[in-house]
A and B are shown apart, each in its own frame.
Chain A
Amino acid sequence: MININWTLFWNVINFLVLVYLLKRYLYQPLLEILDKRSAKIAGDLKAAEDSRAEALELKEKYEAEIGKARERAQEIIEMAEERGKERAREIIKAAKEEASRIREKNLEEIELAREEARRQLKEEVAAISLLVAGKYLQEQLQKEQQLKIIEKYINSLDRGKLGEL
């Protein structure tokens, strides 16, 4: 059962050969690939972390830009509103001025028209007065003439034709 012999030597050779071959064909390549994988995983993780950080940075940057853009838009809107109000005020002011100018002009025209009417009325009244006076005078004259004619006629009657009556 226990017989130490030359197979011990063969076993030593076996073992040494095996150590050499396994080291060369198994352990080293396998450990290398394990290291490579570790390095790759570490690299990938780092890259992922970097990408994440970069993405976060970009996100913050974009958000800041969007915020700025919003502020700017708000400013523009406020400015436009302000400008619009200003313009409206100007328009209203101009309109009021125009209205007041028109009203004054109209008042002037009315005044002129009134003056003209008054003047015309005066003239008319004068003319009518003259006419009435004239007519009246004429009438008076005619009456006197007629009375003279009548009187003349009557007088004639008295002399010539009275007897016939």
Chain B
Amino acid sequence: MQPGPKVLAYFLGNENLPITDTLLVSWLAVILLIIFAALVKRRLKMVPGRLQAGTEILLTFIVEQIESMMPGAGRKFIPFIGTIFMFVGIAMILGIIPGLVNPAGDINAALAMALMVFFYSQYLAIKKNGVGVYIKGFFEPIFLMFPMNVLGELAKPISHSFRLFGNVIGGGIVISLLYQFAPWLFPIPLHFWFDLFMGLVQVLIFGMIAISYISVAISD
């Protein structure tokens, strides 16, 4: 048993540019989301159909999550935060399909998003208060705290990404173990438990943490 992404091929034959199964599923997720967006957009009506109504509920839910931490900023951050929710969400759903792997089970995917959140929040912090205040913030409450503050900030994307990655990979490992012990009893309900339910909880957690990092960054 070897959990984690498997290299399927190399981009242009370059061993430094591997193409993994999780990357392929990521692309699939992107393509599916784009098709989904196109479908929804094409059928947009004042009186919504089921698809539009469902999407509206999802989007309103995400906006509400953002608004709960950053009142009034829901519309501004919906593209970024909404994409995190939707991408990780569809990754979890694709993960339960036999033959496909969960892209969030690849640290590269989780870290990519966590780094985006990290850089975006740093950018917002600098944009809001200026470089001086931003740098000064690392010396609060006293200058001795500078290394701690820097480490604390750098730890954010690591803890953020590893939380998601660890949960997904951990669920996968537990299921793999149970497959070996009792293949005829556990797998299907457990798939739903670990991959779908726990997965969707992880989506919520991952998204909420992203929101909280951004809200901390733009707070005074």
Identify the A interface with B (CB < 8 A): 1-12, 14-19, 21-23, 25-27, 29-31, 33-34, 36-37, 40
Contacts and interface: CB of A to CB of B under 8 A. Distances in A.
Given A15-B113, A23-B83, 19 more contacts: A1-B3, A4-B111, A6-B18, A7-B5, A7-B18, A7-B20, A7-B108, A8-B109, A8-B111, A10-B108, A11-B23, A12-B112, A17-B30, A18-B83, A19-B79, A22-B86, A27-B82, A30-B55, A33-B45
Q: Decide if the interface of chain B is mainly helix, strand, loop or mixed.
A: helix
Interface stretch (B34-42, B94-102, B124-132, B193-201): B34-42
A11 B22 CA distance: 10
A34 B80 CA distance: 19
Interface of B: 2-5, 11, 16-20, 22-23, 26-27, 30, 33-34, 36-38, 40-41, 44-46, 52, 55-56, 59-60, 75, 78-80, 82-83, 86-87, 103, 106-109, 111-113, 115-116, 169
Contact of A40 (B16, B46, B52, B55): B46
B209 to A, nearest CB: 16
Contacts of B44: 29-30, 33
Closest 6 pairs (CB-CB, A-B): A11-B112, A23-B79, A26-B37, A1-B4, A8-B108, A25-B37
A14 B27 contact: yes
B59 A8 contact: no
A151 to B, nearest CB: 159
Contacts of A14: 26-27, 30, 87, 112
24 contacts: A2-B4, A3-B5, A3-B107, A6-B11, A8-B112, A8-B115, A10-B23, A10-B26, A10-B108, A11-B23, A11-B106, A11-B108, A14-B26, A15-B116, A18-B33, A22-B33, A22-B34, A22-B37, A22-B79, A25-B41, A30-B55, A30-B59, A33-B44, A33-B45
Contacts of A11: 23, 26, 103, 106, 108-109, 111-113
A26 B41 CA distance: 6
A4 B108 contact: yes
Contact of B78 (A5, A27, A37): A27
Nearest to B86: A22
Contacts of A12: 112, 115-116
